[in-house]
Amino acid sequence: MRYSLFILLSSALFIASCKESRIHDHPQWGNYFEEYGIDSAKACFIMRDNNHEAIDYFNKERCLERFTPASTFKIFNSLVALEIPKVPDESFVIMWDSVERWNPAWNKDMSMREAFKVSNLGYYQELARRIGPDYMQHYLDTANYGNKSIGGGIDQFWINDSLKISADEQVGFLKRMYFKQLPFTERTQRIVHSMMLQEDTDDYKLYYKTGWGQHADNNVLWVVGYIEKIVPIKEHENSMNKSDVRMYPYFFALNFEVPESDKSQQWATIRIDILKKLLKDFGAMPTDKES
């Protein structure tokens, strides 16, 4: 059975209070997509504010719609490989198969950490073949990841539109990983968490994985992850936290579609620009004036 963060949180809040809602619709967030010529009806963003047990979103219907995870599946693929273990740690090297691929950065031997950073499809296809369908299906089922389908081949299912997951489900999955609640060891989840780190500043730490897949005649672009907002606070002398700093996590998933034929803009860069504008709008990331 598929459980939605919207549904679960709605039920919990109804029991707790019928007066106060913590599920917030932000139709104005569509402007951040429209600014780049993206049809906002084919875009969505969802954020789980863990500190206030709230969900903020744009385009609820699309947040609940499943799409191919594309390269965001490398998060899950890494977890399984480290767990069984086919990979002893993130330094594990797979030799390049000498097949020239479109991205020159992929055409060499590399470790898992390197492959994750450059989103090396060939590395992760080989990793999936070594994992095999039995282990892969077992963990998709136990982690309840999307529709849990591996049709079309062990090295193809996350890019051939067989496996699908919604933005809402991505956020739930990442929240469980952050708090080490997935059916993997703490060590496995900690390693993958570290591989997702993209920006480390005095004000925040930003973790994410991008994805680029196909849906009909459109490209589907993803960014999924979380941000830890760093807040200085004077702790009580008896507090277990001795650093006088607290981390406040926010979990997010963004996707949008553009025509496959549209090469007019740098969509890979734009998806990160939109994400940061949304995070700043919400207050999870400092604005340029605050930085």
Reported as a single tens digit per residue, the pLDDT across 201-217 is 999 999 999 999 998 88
Contact by Cβ (8 Å): 230, 202: yes
**Domain 1-66+170-178+194-291 bears CATH identifier 3.40.710.10:** yes
Provide the pLDDT confidence category of residue 235 given band limits of 50, 70 and 90: low
Marked catalytic residue, from 71, 78, 119, 166: 71
Reported as a single tens digit per residue, the pLDDT across 43-81 is 999 999 988 889 999 999 999 999 999 999 999 999 999
Closest to 277 measured CA to CA, from 27, 32, 31: 32
Check if 1-66+170-178+194-291 and 69-163 are the same fold.
yes
Query: Among 14-23, 187-196, 254-263, 278-287, which stretch is predicted with the lowest mean pLDDT?
Result: 14-23
Contact by Cβ (8 Å): 55, 64: no
Q: b or e along 240-257 (b: 16 or more beta carbons within 10 Å of the residue's beta carbon)?
A: eeeeeeeeebbbbbbbbb
The region, left, alpha or beta by phi > 0 then psi within -120 to 50, assigned to residue 164 is: beta
pTM metric for this prediction: 0.90
Is the pLDDT at 11 greater than 50? The verdict is no
- Give the per-residue pLDDT at 216: 84
- Give the per-residue pLDDT at 20: 46
> Tokens for 74?
């490398």
Q: Angle at which helices 74-83 and 186-195 pack, to 10 degrees?
A: 140
- Give the per-residue pLDDT at 247: 86
What are the residue boundaries of the structural domains of the chain, listed by start? 1-66+170-178+194-291, 69-163
Residue 37's contacts (CB-CB under 8 Å, 6 or more residues apart) are 264, 265
Closest to 218 measured CA to CA, from 6, 43, 48: 43
- Phi and psi at 254, nearest 5°, equal -130, 140
> Tokens for 193?
């968490």
Is the pLDDT at 146 greater than 60? The verdict is yes
Closest to 207 measured CA to CA, from 234, 226, 191, 222: 226
Contact by Cβ (8 Å): 42, 62: yes
Dist CA 3 CA 24 (whole Å): 19
- Give the per-residue pLDDT at 289: 65
- Give the per-residue pLDDT at 245: 77
Provide the pLDDT confidence category of residue 246 given band limits of 50, 70 and 90: confident
The CATH code of domain 69-163 reads 3.40.710.10
If you average pLDDT over residues 225-230, what whole number do you get? Answer: 96
Is the pLDDT at 87 greater than 60? The verdict is yes
> Tokens for 75?
């998060």
Is the pLDDT at 14 greater than 60? The verdict is no
Query: Among 21-25, 71-75, 178-182, 252-256, which stretch is predicted with the lowest mean pLDDT?
Result: 21-25
Dist CA 64 CA 257 (whole Å): 15
Is the pLDDT at 3 greater than 90? The verdict is no
Reported as a single tens digit per residue, the pLDDT across 96-131 is 999 999 999 999 999 999 999 999 999 999 999 999
Is 71 part of the annotated catalytic residue set?
A: yes
Burial degree of 272 (CB within 10 A; 0-12, 13-18, 19+): middle
- Give the per-residue pLDDT at 288: 75
Is the pLDDT at 18 greater than 80? The verdict is no
